[in-house]
Amino acid sequence: MRMRVDVITTTDWLAPVIWEGTFDREALGKYYRKQNITVGLVVFAVGSLTDQYLDPFLRSASKFFMPGYKVIFYVMVDRFLQLPEMDYDPRHSFQIHLIGEERWWNNYDLMRMKLLGEHIQDHIRHEVDFLFSMSANLVFQSEFGVETLSMSVAQLHAWWYFRKTGDLPYERRPMSAAYIPFGLGDFYYAGTIVGGMPLRVLDLTQEYMKGVVLDAENGLNSTYEKYLNKYFFLNKPTKLLSPEYSWDPTFHTLRQVRSMKIAQYPIDSL
């Protein structure tokens, strides 16, 4: 692993934090090409997300996501979809899964995680070695490669990474399943990207569902991102992606952000 002195490159539990300049893509490529891996990428797009974001997501992902490797794109949509015009890589395949629109009216994140878990159990775990689930409002700007692969991958939140730990917006109500006490917590993770081996991503979806159900029984609810942060507080990720991998281009670009891998655009409404 290469060194950078201006950012955190290793966590207290010795997981690497991936920034531009901290990895050797050529060496990693030699290793992973021998493994003959397949990587999956799941994206959910319903309602206005489909019209506004899905085409740029798919076009940019087909160009920059794991170039040179076998990729299966799992596109979860609430209507029949025509894939955008783009240069298709023969190593890429696309699975379009139609999901009933009525299933989304109550809680978008809950249904998204429920369906992700179902698809991993039903078929995805047999089809890919590594899996990422990403928000539709992302546009890849440069290569998102094998440097991101690990057993359990979390995305550092671009805004909160540069804030003090005491200011992080964890769930602070002790009765909630997402509760993290003041004085505890490592980083604030973004919900835009999660990844890892399929069974680890499945575990995340199942623990999230348990937390939501438990809170509902107690008359509580929290946000997807807060449940996600509680999960990674208890189950430390084995690799962290720096804010470069999900950077809001409306932010002032800090000197630590040498290369914006993915641009994250604000969602007007779901």
Catalytically active residues are: 225
Q: Which residues contact 147 (CB under 8 A, 6 or more apart)?
A: 18, 23, 25, 28
Tokens 């893509």, residue? 25
Is 139:56 a contact under the CB 8 Å cutoff? yes
Q: How far apart are CA 42 and CA 26, in angstroms?
A: 26
147 is in an annotated binding site: no
* 71 marked ligand binding residue: no
52 burial via Cβ count (<10 Å: 0-12, 13-18, 19+): middle
Residue 136 is labelled as binding a ligand: no
Annotation-wise, does 55 bind a ligand? no
Q: Known binder of ligand: residue 45? A: yes
216 is in an annotated binding site: no
Helix H, strand E, coil C: the string for 138-161 is EEECCCECHHHCCCEEEEECCCHH
Cα 94 from chain centre:
19
Q: Compute the distance between CA of residue 199 and CA of residue 212 in angstroms, rounded to an integer.
A: 20
CB distance 121 to 202 below 8 Å = yes
Contact residues for 93 (Cβ-Cβ < 8 A; gap 6+)? 71, 72, 73
Binding-site entries: 44-46, 157, 225, 248
Which residues contribute to the annotated binding site for UDP-N-acetyl-alpha-D-galactosamine? 44-46
